[in-house]
């Protein structure tokens, strides 16, 4: 079996599920999810809920007793650190719990064997390109009737989704320290790039701070502010984003998925060069090679 730890926001949950699906498919074993992270809110920099249940996928959850008895390295403090170090010294095929080694693509993923529990973020399409069609199917929903007017508008002319995430990236000091946020200059550069290549562009703005967007984005542009999908309905924004022809994303896995799920070969996707505010993480594997970084 493959057990994948699910944590953080929806975009990260999607990366984790996709990686687990790919590994379970390669090993031809069942995929189980561990969502115990959501039970301990002290771990949450930003309040989060388990959101994969919004998709039409068959979710099977690992029993907590099974995880504690057979997978987790029990203990605390120095005992925990010693056990984790001991586990990492074992050959990959003997490691029952595997922690992602670093942010960029971890090639050890290709050598894991069953049974195994994987823990990490797995933010690269390289983990799940072998099952790309399965991932796209898992994360594709039929847009409900009350949202179809957005899709109809996106299919006319040249549509660009623009995701502007502020919220916790502005207001939470720790999140801001690690992640920072994409400033107005980034979006203006991205808009200039789009304007230089396409005409009659309509920009669909997705944000947790639409008032800031309305006050700061150039008013001469054809701007459509997408409203009504906040809180536990926010996942619909990903489905709407994917219906646009092109994309300007934030340093956010949420809009990463909105762009990636658009299967058009002719799409233009603009992503920020700087994904983290202060970090040595290598992000080359996060952004597909066909996307443009500004």
Cis peptide before 115 (omega within 30 of 0): yes
The pLDDT tens digits for 4-60 are 999 999 999 999 999 999 999 999 999 999 998 898 766 666 678 999 999 989 999
Residues near 267 by beta carbon (within 8 Å), at least 6 away in sequence: 245, 246, 247, 259
Give the pLDDT of residue 40: 76
Query: What pTM did the predictor assign?
Result: 0.89
The pLDDT tens digits for 229-255 are 777 888 999 999 999 999 999 999 999
How far is residue 142's CA from residue 100's CA, in Å, rounded to a whole number? 33
Domain boundaries, the chain: 2-138, 145-293
Give the pLDDT of residue 165: 85
| Residue 90: pLDDT over 70 | no
pLDDT band at 175; cut points 50, 70, 90: low
Residues near 133 by beta carbon (within 8 Å), at least 6 away in sequence: none
How far is residue 97's CA from residue 87's CA, in Å, rounded to a whole number? 8
Cβ(218)–Cβ(239) below 8 Å: no
The pLDDT tens digits for 254-291 are 999 999 999 999 999 999 998 877 777 888 899 999 99
Instruction: Give me the CATH code for the 145-293 domain, please.
Output: 3.40.50.11350
Residues near 192 by beta carbon (within 8 Å), at least 6 away in sequence: none
Q: Which is more confidently placed, 230 or 190? A: 190
- HEC secondary structure over the chain: CEEEECCCCHHHHHHHHHHHHHHHHHHCCCEEEECHHHHCHHHCCCCCCCCHHHCCCCCCECCHHHHHHHCCCCCCHHHHHHHHHHHHHCCHHHCCEEECCCCCCCHHHHHCCCCEEEECCCCCHHHCHHHHHHHHHHCCCCCCHHHHHHHHHHCCCEEEEEEECCHHHHHCHHHHHHHCCCCHHHHHHHHHHHHHHCCCEEEEEEECCHHHHHHHCCCCCEEEECCCCCHHHCHHHHHHHCCCCEEECCCCHHHHHHHHCCCCCCCCEEECCCCCCCCCCCCCCCCCCCCEEC
Give the pLDDT of residue 275: 86
């Amino acid at each position: 079996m493959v057990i994948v730890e699910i944590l953080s926001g929806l975009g990260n949950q999607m990366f984790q599920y996709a990686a687990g699906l790919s590994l379970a498919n390669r090993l031809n074993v069942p995929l189980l999810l561990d969502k115990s992270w959501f039970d301990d809110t002290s771990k949450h920099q930003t309040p989060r809920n388990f959101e994969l249940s919004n998709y039409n996928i068959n979710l099977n959850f690992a029993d907590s007793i099974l995880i504690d008895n057979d997978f987790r390295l029990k203990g605390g403090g120095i005992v925990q650190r010693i056990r984790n170090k001991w586990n990492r010294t074992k050959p990959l095929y003997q490691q029952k719990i595997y922690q992602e080694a670093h942010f960029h693509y971890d090639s050890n993923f290709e050598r894991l064997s069953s049974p195994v529990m994987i823990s990490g973020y797995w933010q690269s399409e390289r983990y799940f390109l072998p099952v790309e069609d399965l991932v796209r199917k898992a994360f594709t929903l039929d847009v409900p009737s009350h949202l179809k007017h957005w899709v109809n508008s996106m299919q006319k002319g040249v549509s660009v989704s623009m995701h502007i995430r502020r919220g916790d990236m502005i207001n939470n000091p720790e999140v801001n320290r690690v992640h920072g946020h994409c400033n107005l200059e980034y979006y203006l550069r991205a808009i200039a790039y789009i304007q230089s290549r396409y005409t009659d562009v309509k920009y669909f703005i997705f944000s947790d701070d639409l008032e800031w967007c309305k006050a700061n984005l150039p008013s001469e542009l054809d701007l459509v502010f997408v409203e009504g999908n906040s809180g536990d309905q926010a996942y619909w924004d990903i489905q709407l984003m994917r219906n646009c022809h092109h994309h300007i994303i934030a340093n956010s896995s949420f809009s990463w998925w909105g762009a990636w799920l658009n299967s058009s070969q002719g799409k233009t996707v603009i992503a920020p060069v700087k994904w983290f505010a202060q970090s040595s993480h290598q992000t080359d594997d996060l952004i597909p090679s066909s996307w443009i970084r500004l």
